[in-house]
Chain A
């Protein structure tokens, strides 16, 4: 009988103890997996959001896109950037606050994004806005727009419908002109938060909605390089020292240094706590189990079982508890992560498409490595008990006891 087979029989012998160990490891393992998914989840998810649409360099007025500062003379700047040899396409994004009139009641406050593409490359000229069309098509003309699902469901709109929208490009307090626009598509806006609604169209459409009062600034300029994002960002910085140009990776790096650090720190602390808890749980169970059968172990040693063999038996028992519990922890951890993700995404200002918990093979590998380490570390003390067990004294004590 192999050490693993022997360990299995030892576990089955005391099903309640085995179940306790397995369930404990499953719960702790699920938390561990979640902490690992959380530690890099925001970073991976943010990188994914930024990479959507293939725009790999972001030009903004502040250190981070979305800081509120606007890029001055945005169209001229975009035009100049589009002439850089490493650039395939440039997209100017200008946001405005808007209201959509209801038949009765208060109008719905929404954001209206106007975009304009600049490219010297025919393929680049075809690139569209950073939103994803779910139904219908993208807006091309100055009297067209796309809307998000929230607006579509609230106003029961579908491609082909028309809406009356009042946009303000300069100040919230100005008198908003009413503009009738045709809905041509329903889209998903990647950075839209849970409580927001967004509409999008061309910069000309925004200009129309704002009564021509759009100014020359933009919130953000997105750039698609021909493959060298770092070189393109450097070229833009050289061409326009007054703006900040950063690759998506650099933007994520800056976010990592600021807000995302807390999640990593929390996850590191909780990972350490959960692993320690798992080690203690298994170590206690194994130690109790081994202490209950010292006589049997001593008898096996007397019968010729080597020290290595009895150590292997204990290690195998630990590996089985952690292995089975670890397997159970995977679906449990994924379910728990989905629930926690939903709760955390309910916080204000969090983009709907952003996830706190993201499954990665790297996280799974670390999870497995930590469980293996748990099995070994938890078994160290009980392994020491059986390896240093005085055979004769134990046999004597068992008879006296």
Chain B
């Protein structure tokens, strides 16, 4: 499988079954999906329909129980845990509903953390942190801790952190779920800007306004992609 055609993720007939005490539960059922560079995809659907599980599979934190999933041409199921960690570190960015910023670190340090883990030099890290915090409009709050930031500001720091190592794919799980409408709109605009720079963006959301900004909107039901709408 070649990645030369801009293809980042190629999922073919992927399913994810969880073993539960009451019996196996199929969260994602035979989903086929391709994500290319610059794609803007929104995944919608009712709670428990498998959106987040699909997102986690695309982000290589969950492995499929059947089907194949290639990331940048590599069969993810064949990668060791450390190789998948490295893949996530360098190619994938995650934005979470609850931000998950580290409370003991400043905004600057939170953004710097993935770069530090990737072995980037201190000078390069500092430069990149400045650029990213400026990009998300928080240069003035660089030395503030998460507890000193508003929800919207925390999510912007989280986006900057997700972009730290220049990922090809940015995955956002309900990025506006904890925010009010106006702040959510600001975050949506920021994500649009990220996407416009060529970073593929997959957003799982209940927020109709946020989903409507995407080029492709997938609606899931019972673990399947029930419909796909392309602008």
Please, what's the 1-or-0 string for B99-119, where 1 marks a CB less than 8 Å from any CB in chain A? 010111100010011101110
Query: Pick the contact of A309 from B94, B117, B165 — CB < 8 Å?
Result: B117
Q: Is there contact, CB below 8 Å, between B82 and A307?
A: yes
Q: Is there contact, CB below 8 Å, between B105 and A308?
A: no
Contacts of A9 in B (CB 8 A): 102, 104-105
Q: Which of A361-401 contact B (CB under 8 A)?
A: 391-392, 395-396, 398-399
Q: Is there contact, CB below 8 Å, between B104 and A12?
A: yes
B3-11, B52-60, B186-194, B208-216 - the one binding chain A = B52-60
Please, what's the 1-or-0 string for A278-299, where 1 marks a CB less than 8 Å from any CB in chain B? 0000000000000000011011
Q: How far is the CA of A298 from the CA of B177 in the complex (A)?
A: 19
Partner-B contacts on A (CB < 8 A): 1, 9-10, 12-13, 295-296, 298-309, 391-392, 395-396, 398-399
Q: How far is the CA of A299 from the CA of B103 in the complex (A)?
A: 13
Partner-A contacts on B (CB < 8 A): 52-53, 56, 59, 61-62, 81-82, 85-90, 92-94, 96-98, 100, 102-105, 109, 112-114, 116-118, 161-162, 165, 173-174, 177
| Nearest-CB residue, chain B, relative to A398 | B98
Contacts of A301 in B (CB 8 A): 61, 85
Q: Is there contact, CB below 8 Å, between A295 and B81?
A: no
Q: How far is the CA of A391 from the CA of B100 in the complex (A)?
A: 13
Q: Is there contact, CB below 8 Å, between B85 and A306?
A: yes
Q: How far is the CA of A13 from the CA of B117 in the complex (A)?
A: 21
Q: How far is the CA of A401 from the CA of B162 in the complex (A)?
A: 23
For the complex, would chain A's binding face be called helix, strand, loop or mixed by DSSP majority? helix
Q: How far is the CA of A12 from the CA of B87 in the complex (A)?
A: 31
- Assuming the A-B contacts A9-B105, A13-B103, are A299 and B94 also in contact, with contact meaning beta carbons closer than 8 angstroms in the complex? yes
A-B contact pairs, 15 of them (CB 8 A): A1-B112, A1-B116, A10-B104, A12-B104, A298-B100, A299-B96, A303-B88, A306-B81, A308-B82, A309-B117, A392-B53, A399-B52, A399-B97, A399-B174, A399-B177
Q: Is there contact, CB below 8 Å, between B113 and A395?
A: no
Q: What is the distance, in angstroms, from B82's C-beta to the closest C-beta of chain A?
A: 5
Query: Pick the contact of B113 from A1, A10, A306 — CB < 8 Å?
Result: A1
Query: Pick the contact of A392 from B61, B92, B93, B174 — CB < 8 Å?
Result: B61
Contacts of B85 in A (CB 8 A): 301, 304-307
Query: Pick the contact of A304 from B53, B88, B109 — CB < 8 Å?
Result: B88
Q: How far is the CA of A9 from the CA of B106 in the complex (A)?
A: 11
Q: What is the distance, in angstroms, from A175's C-beta to the closest C-beta of chain B?
A: 85
Q: Is there contact, CB below 8 Å, between B89 and A304?
A: yes
| Nearest-CB residue, chain A, relative to B145 | A13
Contacts of B53 in A (CB 8 A): 392
Contacts of B118 in A (CB 8 A): 304
Q: How far is the CA of A391 from the CA of B52 in the complex (A)?
A: 12
Q: Is there contact, CB below 8 Å, between B90 and A304?
A: yes
| Nearest-CB residue, chain A, relative to B109 | A1
Q: What is the distance, in angstroms, from B65's C-beta to the closest C-beta of chain A?
A: 13
Q: Is there contact, CB below 8 Å, between B100 and A304?
A: no
* In the complex, the 9 A-B pairs of residues with the closest C-beta atoms, listed nearest first: A304-B89, A299-B100, A13-B104, A392-B56, A304-B88, A392-B62, A391-B61, A306-B85, A9-B104
